[in-house]
Amino acid sequence: MRVRDKVVVVTGAASGIGRAMALRFAEEGASGVVVADLDEAGAAGVAKEIGDRAVAVRADVSVEAEVAALTETPFGPPDLFCSNAGVIAGRGLDATAQDWSSLWAVNVQAHVYAARAVVPLMVSRGSGYLLNTCSAAGLISCPGDAPYAVTKAAAIAFAEWVSIHYAPKGVKVSVLCPQGVRTAMLERGVAEDHLTARAVGASGAILDPADVAATVVEGLAAERFHIFPHPEVADFARRKADDPDRWLAGMARFVESLA
């Protein structure tokens, strides 16, 4: 997947990783970039940075009709749909039913809605690409945030399912699995001295969103399913697969050390 001359949709694009990807795709020569976000003013600001090849759309990705509407762009049907929007809970067993419902809607169902909307279009023309932002948490859990860990793991499982069924029909899928990224979400956790933020800080480098976007472009060109801005995440996942009991014990010790 080369982004040049392609139509791209990015959700959660008003800030953070989504904003960085939208700007980088434009820099790479995308013919059109749909900057979608619940934050309409923020999305408009990003679209203005890009210029005539971008349009801002207010979209609540927890609403299927609003996700489906993103496929109707002024630039034509999307070649690449980046389902990037995500939310956190910051809670463990104390997470409420509403916490679980909200995170499931954005972190999982939004990917389902995107696939329902674009996969048939992509199959009909024999090509297309889905990029789902799933986080390292989907592979190696998330200290301090049970709903986030569970929903991100579910998002990866869904992306695997889509790839298995539709790659033979020309639809490629990648999951973006970064660890620590300098976003408002992480900065808020640091300010609150949250366990999740402490774990992220102790696990590796904190990347700039632009660095993540650069890795995305490279990963899409290679058409890798897993895109790892932090290469160590691949090692962590391998250790987990090789010896789950040892990995769980090590993670438990790690979490205890952060208390």
Active site residues: 148
d(C-alpha 217, C-alpha 240), whole Å: 27
Could you give the strand order of the β-sheet that contains 32-37, starting from the edge strand earlier in sequence? 54-58, 32-37, 7-11, 80-83, 128-133, 171-176, 226-227
d(C-alpha 167, C-alpha 174), whole Å: 11
- Could you tell me the two tokens for 10? 């990015």
**Nearest partner of 172 among 119, 105, 234, 107, judged by Cα:** 119
Q: Which residues contact 12 (CB under 8 A, 6 or more apart)?
A: 18, 36, 37, 61, 84, 85, 86, 133
d(C-alpha 189, C-alpha 64), whole Å: 29
